[in-house]
Amino acid sequence: MSTITVPATTGQRLLSIDVLRGVTVGFMILVNNNGNNDLAYRALNHSPWNGFTPTDLVFPTFLFIMGISLVLSSGARIERSGGRDRTGITVSHTLRRFALLVFFGLVVNGFPYFHLSTLRVYGVLQRIAVCYLLASLLLVLTRRASAFVVVTVALLVGYWVLLRWMPVPGHGLPVRDFPLLDRDINLCAWIDRHVFPHRLFEGTRDPEGLLSDLPSLASTLLGVLTGLWLRVARSQQAKALGMAAVSIVLLLAGQAWNLSFPINKKLWTSSYALYAGGWSLLLLAITYYLVEVRGVGKSNERSSLWPALALGTNAITAYVLSELLSSAVSVFHVNAQQSFQQWIYGRVFEPIVNPAFGSMAYSIVFVLVCWVPVWVLYRRKIFLKL
């Protein structure tokens, strides 16, 4: 990991991207750290299986923004090099970032005891790493929007074919022999149990499993396509309107596919990728219009959007910090029955109004605790890059 100090503002950077990334990471930390998951508001928990809650929008939005950033950062590199660096990002640079993301993902999974015999290999950072690697390599090969449309469609349709029409060994054919998207009898879970037995987040399955990296990559490529759109020679108003229009198409397509291939975050179904992508694009269109077109929060001296920018410009740092802190407060016990997290929630937060509200209050305080260090980095114009 390297430390980069940069000016407070740059001409190439879109403030709206950093703002949306910051809001996304902040919400990710919030929903990952409920005071009590069983008592939390439904909107602050993932859907148990089929279905969709606001929490299910967090991860695909992060991948979507990453896809945009890949295009914009590589485009800026081409401009700085006078057009000589036509690939935008070197393979060695991509592989280095991939390896670091996987490494920090394993650290997050293992902290603080690192039981290697049962260490979970999959994870959020690992999925980010895979999608980053594959999307970056595709950008090395081509920057044609049509090529990315074809790959995205192929990933989503191919994944549907695999889960709907591919027999699961020992169980038969989906729909005919067992329900489509059965929790344990599905191709994703079967593969994960054979690739990494006894290392899965939910025992018999893993929400960041191997096969569902395919539609997750499609979510990232929706961001790549958006990044390519943001670099075309159009007015900012036209770009915002175009994103809003496409977002409606994606939302409708996701809902239509949901009728036969249910929206499911844990399996990252194709309908889920489209539906979540529609919401991500709509949020970006709104943020882009407010910040870039209307100038909301912008000033010559300092942006009033700095609370979100502090998280958005050190997003991975904030996430890793939150996961390590979450593990620490859960492992440290104040007595034989209670961890520090359970103790402080029960003593301080649960009595506030009602347990659900107290759970949310705990989450908000947790976010603020994680925000302070990245705010200090932001104030000093230090951005930690993998």
Instruction: Point out which residues pair with 50 in neighbouring strands.
Output: 264
What is the rounded CA–CA span in Å between residue 61 and residue 223?
A: 9
- The DSSP code sequence of 91-108 is HHHHHHHHHHHHHHHHHH
Using alpha carbons, select from 166, 83, 99 the residue that is nearest to residue 133: 99
State the angle between helix axes of 58-80 and 213-230 in degrees (0 to 180), rounded to the nearest 10: 50
pLDDT at 86: 54
Would you say 367 and 30 are in contact if contact means Cβ atoms under 8 Å apart? yes
Could you read off the pLDDT tens digit of each residue along the chain, which spans 386 residues? 655 444 333 445 799 999 999 999 999 999 999 999 999 999 999 999 999 999 999 999 999 999 999 999 876 555 555 555 555 446 888 999 999 999 999 999 999 999 999 999 999 999 999 999 999 999 999 999 999 999 999 999 999 999 999 999 999 999 999 999 999 999 999 999 999 999 999 999 999 999 999 999 999 999 999 999 999 999 999 999 999 999 999 999 999 999 999 999 999 999 999 999 999 999 999 999 999 999 988 765 567 899 999 999 999 999 999 999 999 999 999 988 899 999 999 999 999 999 999 999 999 999 999 999 999 999 999 998 77
302: left (phi over 0), alpha (psi -120 to 50) or beta: beta
* CA distances from residue 299 to 8, 15, 302, 303 in whole angstroms, order as listed: 12, 12, 6, 5
What is the rounded CA–CA span in Å between residue 223 and residue 29?
A: 22
Domain ranges of the chain: 1-45+301-386, 58-296
What is the rounded CA–CA span in Å between residue 235 and residue 222?
A: 21
- The DSSP code sequence of 117-186 is TT-----HHHHHHHHHHHHHHHHHH---HHHHHHHHHHHHHHHHHHHHHSPBTTTB-BTTTB-TT-SSSS
Encode burial over 340-365: b for 16+ CB neighbours within 10 A, e otherwise: ebbbbbeeebbeeeebbbbbbbbbee
Encode burial over 114-135: b for 16+ CB neighbours within 10 A, e otherwise: eeeeeebbbbbbbbbbbbbbbb
What is the rounded CA–CA span in Å between residue 240 and residue 380?
A: 32
- The DSSP code sequence of 269-299 is -HHHHHHHHHHHHHHHHHHHIIIIIS-TT--
Using alpha carbons, select from 60, 232, 66 the residue that is nearest to residue 134: 66
- Reported pTM: 0.93
Q: CB neighbours of 335 closer than 8 A, spacing ≥ 6?
A: 343
What is the rounded CA–CA span in Å between residue 282 and residue 211?
A: 27
pLDDT at 6: 43
pLDDT at 87: 53
Q: CB neighbours of 311 closer than 8 A, spacing ≥ 6?
A: 21, 22, 23, 25, 26, 318, 371, 374
Instruction: Point out which residues pair with 5 in neighbouring strands.
Output: 382
